[in-house]
Structure 1
Amino acid sequence: MSGPGLRVVVIGSGSAGRPGADRHRRLGRFPSIPGLAGTPYWTSTEALTAETIPQRLAVIGGSVVALELAQAFVRLGSRVTLLARSTLLSREDAALGEGLAEILRAEGLDLRLHSVPQRVAHVGGRFRLTLADGMLESEALLVATGRRANTAALGLQTVGLETDAEGRIAVDAHLRTGVDWIHAAGDCTALPQYMYVAAAAGTRAAINMTGGDASLDLAAMPASTSRRCQPRPRGDASLDLAAMPAVVFTDPQVATVGLSEQQAKARGLEAESRTLSLDNVPRALANFDTRGFVKLVAERGSGRLLGAQILAAEAGEMIQSAALALAAGMTVDDLAGRLFPYLTMVEGLKLCAQTFSRDVSPLSCCAG
């Protein structure tokens, strides 16, 4: 990459690795495990294109991709052992990982928390993982501990553009980098690694590189405690990541938006929460599936909604209502007073909001 003759550039190189001799170095944030680099381990790419189902599969990782693929291979018939360095979904509310762990174990997943292999070997077509408490063998090994930004081969240093330790490019709210004629978007930056965030960032980068002025709101939470939706000025294409929903496609799904109670308190907010088990949601009872819960986090005193965490089969369909409520600056009383159609899972949001001021367990249906 070089500057002369270029008016403006957008970098969108993503985080997908490319096979080759330096595959291990380039593919992701891998644990430093002796022997791993020289073995034919899988990343998510190989796991999704595998033509056979391994009798035994070991998975290293405890976050989104590791959990989604581990459960998928259990259901395809593999005996799956998942090794997580910490707890499941350790960056989220602890109740989400704990609840999902119980469900996955019941489904047959051999889940081992706080466990990282001390050594990996591949002998006779099998993987041998040395653990603190013994040896684990498997026909396949999936390493799902994160992806590295795909920037190493771009020669960014030749134009004075630096990256962090994981190869990510720093950008501001307008997707500008430290070099005034270069913008960046997607997984090669430090933005959340979601397709919809990358698409929104790419759109705004394109607007800005052609003379527009579109921003990506990187604030973790709205600054005002009395925020409400206001009409946007014409031409304002900003994106507010404070209300960015995220979904883990396990079964049941995990969906979040905003802050957990712990995150809110860490930011100095007076926060409180309520958790509603799904046996209080009529549709969950009708579905004969009451696994999971709805949890809402609110600012103490004002009742302003700060975040939502959901563990439910339809969590991904439910979370957008919470995201809209968060973006609108609604309180839990606002949410509790809205009309939600009866016998839908999203009614669980209303019921959970009502628990801030009443006991909903005696209700038979149609919470008012």
Structure 2
Amino acid sequence: MNLLRLHAENFRNIPLAAVGLEADSVFLLGANGQGKSNLLEAAGLVTAARSFRTTETRPLIRQNQPQGRVFFKVRHEHRGETEITLTLASGAKQIEVDGEKITRLADFIGQFPTVVFSAEDIQLLRGSPGLRRRALDLTLAATDPDYFKALSRYTRALRDRNKLLKDEAPTASRRPFERLLAEEAVKLIAARSQGVKQLSASLVECYSELCGVDESPALQYKVDCQAATTEDFLKTLEQQQRRDEAMGSTQKGPHRDDLAFKLKGRSARDFASDGQQRGLVVALRLAQLRYFQSRTGLAPVVLADDVLGELDPVRRAGFWRAVGPDLQVIATGTEPPVGDARQWKIIHVEGGAFDEAKGEA
């Protein structure tokens, strides 16, 4: 897939912009705070209508405006040239593909894949389990509609059970939600186990290409509740019943799963150097890119948000080797790109305005 054009209206600090992205390599160049990352964030919405920087919609809409809008024109392997419009309003999103409204997110998510590389990705290793779960869920949901449905159903059932727990409702009133919770939990656990296994295998290859060394990297799925069947999970809920009632929430389940990064058999969070940690999270995004390719047959667009400046020359060269020459790359930075063979289209960014007139690098 290639992004050909992007229009943004009342998005972040961008009042109105129409940017040509038809080149294979596009570099958004400008000082910090001018709108480079905002445009990249807008581009990333084409995959799941969700930002890689926030879970909220309101911050995406320009201040004092009721709504924002992003328009995409893409060249797609299966659909040909396709137009997508995403309208953002507080608490609501509307998606149209070639003029047809999309009523279910499951019918849209992952159809137009992008993979974002950001300096903030380091928090996938150093941050909370919730960040890692969200990244894993987005990766799996983007290639498997059934996973997305199971996750949505699990989330609703969990919310309903937790409300009953907080309200101290009778045990019998929780039973229907617990069975639904258990049915979907088993699906999520199985899919996450298989998905992490595939990502970890690819992580090994990507880390070697990126860093040029063999340090036995691994991604480990830390399942909170082992449950092969619905009855297994229901038994766990029964065992946890008193604790759940005391806490007013469900204490065991996929909503408490985690991922662990390993290097040389040890916790990368505790023992890896800063350079090794950054190499691991970049390798994970590369593994995600290859996962998308293998599962969908589509070529994701690479969105690199000021990440190359975080890499040393060896890892920067390895990054371009791992990405390869065939994928479209849209990158940002405060200095022009150096040290790679790409012919860049440079777009200068200042104050939410985008100047394409200054040519290539």
TM-score normalised by the chain length of structure 2: 0.24
Q: Which has the higher contact order (CA 8 A, sep 6+)?
A: 2
Whose strand proportion is higher, 1 or 2? 2
Larger radius of gyration: 1
Whose helix proportion is higher, 1 or 2? 2
TM-score normalised by the chain length of structure 1: 0.23
